[in-house]
Structure 1
Amino acid sequence: MRVFWTFFWTFLLINMVTYVVSSMQGLEYHFATGSTLAIVATVLILAIAQLIPNEPIEH
Protein backbone atom coordinates (compact mmCIF):
# COMPACT_ATOMS: atom_id res chain seq x y z
CA MET A 1 0.00 0.00 0.00
CA ARG A 2 2.96 2.29 0.71
CA VAL A 3 4.19 1.87 -2.85
CA PHE A 4 0.77 2.68 -4.28
CA TRP A 5 0.41 5.92 -2.33
CA THR A 6 3.97 6.94 -3.12
CA PHE A 7 3.28 6.44 -6.82
CA PHE A 8 -0.13 8.15 -6.61
CA TRP A 9 1.16 11.36 -5.05
CA THR A 10 4.35 11.40 -7.09
CA PHE A 11 2.30 10.93 -10.27
CA LEU A 12 -0.02 13.82 -9.42
CA LEU A 13 2.70 16.21 -8.28
CA ILE A 14 5.14 15.52 -11.13
CA ASN A 15 2.40 15.92 -13.74
CA MET A 16 1.33 19.17 -12.10
CA VAL A 17 4.90 20.48 -12.14
CA THR A 18 5.33 19.38 -15.76
CA TYR A 19 2.15 21.23 -16.72
CA VAL A 20 3.12 24.43 -14.91
CA VAL A 21 6.69 24.50 -16.22
CA SER A 22 5.64 23.80 -19.80
CA SER A 23 2.98 26.50 -19.54
CA MET A 24 5.49 29.02 -18.20
CA GLN A 25 7.88 28.25 -21.05
CA GLY A 26 5.11 28.44 -23.66
CA LEU A 27 5.49 24.79 -24.66
CA GLU A 28 2.93 22.02 -25.10
CA TYR A 29 2.08 19.81 -22.15
CA HIS A 30 2.96 16.16 -22.78
CA PHE A 31 1.28 13.67 -20.46
CA ALA A 32 3.78 10.95 -21.40
CA THR A 33 6.73 13.07 -20.27
CA GLY A 34 5.16 13.74 -16.88
CA SER A 35 4.22 10.09 -16.45
CA THR A 36 7.72 8.89 -17.32
CA LEU A 37 9.26 11.34 -14.87
CA ALA A 38 6.77 10.22 -12.21
CA ILE A 39 7.77 6.57 -12.62
CA VAL A 40 11.48 7.42 -12.42
CA ALA A 41 10.91 9.65 -9.38
CA THR A 42 8.87 6.93 -7.63
CA VAL A 43 11.64 4.38 -8.13
CA LEU A 44 14.24 6.84 -6.81
CA ILE A 45 12.11 7.73 -3.78
CA LEU A 46 11.55 4.07 -2.90
CA ALA A 47 15.25 3.25 -3.39
CA ILE A 48 16.33 6.12 -1.14
CA ALA A 49 13.77 5.08 1.48
CA GLN A 50 15.29 1.58 1.54
CA LEU A 51 18.82 2.97 2.03
CA ILE A 52 17.97 5.15 5.03
CA PRO A 53 18.25 3.19 8.29
CA ASN A 54 15.10 2.95 10.43
CA GLU A 55 16.83 2.56 13.77
CA PRO A 56 19.01 5.19 15.41
CA ILE A 57 22.74 4.54 15.29
CA GLU A 58 24.40 4.40 18.68
CA HIS A 59 27.84 5.97 18.98
Structure 2
Amino acid sequence: MHYIMTFVWAFILVHMINFVLMSLGGGTDLNLMTANIMAVVFGMLALIISALIPDDPVPTDHH
Protein backbone atom coordinates (compact mmCIF):
# COMPACT_ATOMS: atom_id res chain seq x y z
CA MET A 1 0.00 0.00 0.00
CA HIS A 2 2.96 2.27 0.73
CA TYR A 3 4.15 1.99 -2.88
CA ILE A 4 0.71 2.59 -4.36
CA MET A 5 0.13 5.73 -2.31
CA THR A 6 3.59 7.02 -3.22
CA PHE A 7 2.71 6.82 -6.90
CA VAL A 8 -0.77 8.28 -6.36
CA TRP A 9 0.70 11.31 -4.60
CA ALA A 10 3.47 11.59 -7.19
CA PHE A 11 0.90 11.69 -10.01
CA ILE A 12 -1.27 14.24 -8.19
CA LEU A 13 1.60 16.57 -7.32
CA VAL A 14 3.38 16.37 -10.68
CA HIS A 15 0.16 16.97 -12.61
CA MET A 16 -0.63 20.01 -10.42
CA ILE A 17 2.87 21.40 -11.00
CA ASN A 18 2.58 20.69 -14.72
CA PHE A 19 -0.78 22.48 -14.91
CA VAL A 20 0.45 25.57 -13.08
CA LEU A 21 3.67 25.84 -15.06
CA MET A 22 1.92 25.34 -18.40
CA SER A 23 -0.66 27.98 -17.43
CA LEU A 24 2.07 30.45 -16.54
CA GLY A 25 3.99 29.58 -19.72
CA GLY A 26 1.42 31.36 -21.84
CA GLY A 27 -0.09 29.59 -24.78
CA THR A 28 1.63 26.22 -24.42
CA ASP A 29 -0.45 23.07 -24.53
CA LEU A 30 -0.87 20.83 -21.50
CA ASN A 31 1.26 17.74 -22.17
CA LEU A 32 -0.02 14.91 -20.00
CA MET A 33 2.44 12.28 -21.26
CA THR A 34 5.39 14.33 -20.00
CA ALA A 35 3.66 14.72 -16.64
CA ASN A 36 3.06 10.96 -16.45
CA ILE A 37 6.71 10.20 -17.16
CA MET A 38 7.89 12.76 -14.64
CA ALA A 39 5.47 11.35 -12.03
CA VAL A 40 6.90 7.87 -12.45
CA VAL A 41 10.45 9.23 -12.18
CA PHE A 42 9.54 11.30 -9.12
CA GLY A 43 7.81 8.31 -7.48
CA MET A 44 10.76 6.01 -8.10
CA LEU A 45 13.17 8.63 -6.77
CA ALA A 46 11.07 9.06 -3.62
CA LEU A 47 11.01 5.29 -3.04
CA ILE A 48 14.77 5.00 -3.56
CA ILE A 49 15.49 7.84 -1.17
CA SER A 50 13.16 6.39 1.47
CA ALA A 51 14.91 3.01 1.14
CA LEU A 52 18.34 4.60 1.64
CA ILE A 53 17.42 6.55 4.79
CA PRO A 54 17.95 4.34 7.86
CA ASP A 55 15.00 3.72 10.18
CA ASP A 56 17.14 2.82 13.19
CA PRO A 57 17.03 5.12 16.20
CA VAL A 58 20.15 7.13 16.90
CA PRO A 59 22.00 5.59 19.86
CA THR A 60 22.60 7.96 22.72
CA ASP A 61 25.34 7.50 25.30
CA HIS A 62 24.19 7.94 28.89
CA HIS A 63 27.17 8.59 31.14
What band does the TM-score fall into relative to the shorter chain?
over 0.9
Runs of 4+ with >6 A deviation: none
Structure 2 gaps of 5+ residues are none
Deviation string, structure 1 residues 9-56 (Cα, Å, up to 9, x no partner): 110110111011011011111000100000000000000000000012
> Where does 1:27-38 land on structure 2 (aligned, <5 Å)?
27-38=28-39
The answer for the alignment partner of 2:54 in structure 1 is: 53
Q: CA deviation at 1:57?
A: 2.8
AA paired with 1:55? D
- Distance in 1 between residues matched to 2:29 and 2:12, nearest whole Å: 18
Identity %: 34
TM-score by length of 1: 0.92
Residue matched to 2:23: 23
Which of 1 and 2 has greater Rg? 2
Please report the RMSD computed on the Cα atoms of aligned residues, expressed in angstroms: 1.0
- How many residues get paired? 59
Q: TM-score, normalised by structure 2?
A: 0.87
More helix by proportion, 1 or 2? 1
Question: Structure 1: where are the runs of 5+ without partners?
Answer: none
